[in-house]
Amino acid sequence: MPGTGTLINTAAVIAGGIAGHFTGRFFKEEQQDAICKVCGISVLFIAIAGAMEGMLQISMDEAGKGASIISGRSMFIVLCLSIGTVIGELLRIEDGFERFGAWLKIKTGNAKDARFVDAFVTSSLTVCIGAMAIVGAIQDGVMGDYSTLAVKSVLDFIIIMVMTSSMGKGCAFSAIPIFVFEGGITLLSTLIAPLMTPAAIANLSLVGSILIFCVGVNLVWGRKVRVANMLPAVLLAVLAAYLPSM
């Protein structure tokens, strides 16, 4: 049934939040901070792996005997991120995330939780950005295949459990944007599927990985980057796949 993957992913995030809430009680504040930083470092390396996959290529010499690794697509990354960030700053996307988080904080009775909004925004960006969410939701809607989202659900459960144990219960509410984002793509999958060519998916994965890297930076060093305002870069990356030069 279309939408099964979204329901599984949403349930996994909620379960991860509940598990993290109870396990977090056993850690002192400095231990929670250490867990948060470890989570951030893990996110950094996951993002680096995804970005390098899109930037690095193996080049053979003319004789076909030797191989070397070359990097590229630097200008593509600079243009997507810079233009996308300008658009995001003008639209004030991050402020919208924070306002919604502040509203949730009050409505859920967590007004005294000083880290609720930060936990909600950071965790939402971590689990929503990436090719797996979009491609998996399209597969779920078009073919009824939720296997990609099922794998993502396992990863999200672990990530949200660790983040909740260190940042607080606000992380569990990232289930809301997951449900809306993946559910919306599943509903519109017949329209979106033709747009997601291999080149578009590659661009999405590359730029999405860089945004996830920025999320990791915020986890390790505190709120340094307004990642939500960079989200239009992902859309620009997909659109760039249809330019003749790309």
pTM score: 0.81
Mean pLDDT of 223-234: 88
- Please report the pLDDT score of residue 49 as a whole number: 86
Mean pLDDT of 210-237: 88
Distances (CA, A) of 184 to 4, 98, 138, 176, 224: 13, 21, 10, 12, 30
**How far apart (Å, rounded) are the C-alpha atoms in residues 172 and 149?**
18
- Please report the pLDDT score of residue 61 as a whole number: 63
> What percent of the chain has pLDDT above 70?
94
Q: What average pLDDT does the chain have? A: 86
How is residue 91 written in tokens? 């639209």
For the chain, the residue count is 246
Q: Which amino acid is at 23?
A: T
Mean pLDDT of 178-200: 88
Mean pLDDT of 190-215: 86
Element (H, E) at 64: none
β-strand pairing of 67-71 with 56-60 = antiparallel
Query: Is residue 70 pLDDT above 80, yes or no?
Result: no
Query: Is residue 220 pLDDT above 80, yes or no?
Result: yes
- Give the confidence band of 100 by pLDDT, cuts at 50, 70, 90: very high
Least confident of 54-68, 111-125, 164-178, 219-233: 54-68
- Please report the pLDDT score of residue 96 as a whole number: 92
How is residue 243 written in tokens? 């330019």
Mean pLDDT of 110-123: 88
Spatial contact of 9 and 147, defined as CB atoms under 8 Å apart: no
> What percent of the chain has pLDDT above 90?
34
Element (H, E) at 235: helix 232-240
In the three-class reduction of DSSP (H, G, I as helix; E, B as strand; rest coil), residue 58 is classed as strand
- Torsion sign over Cα 167, 172, 176, 178: positive
- Please report the pLDDT score of residue 25 as a whole number: 77
Query: Is residue 246 pLDDT above 60, yes or no?
Result: no
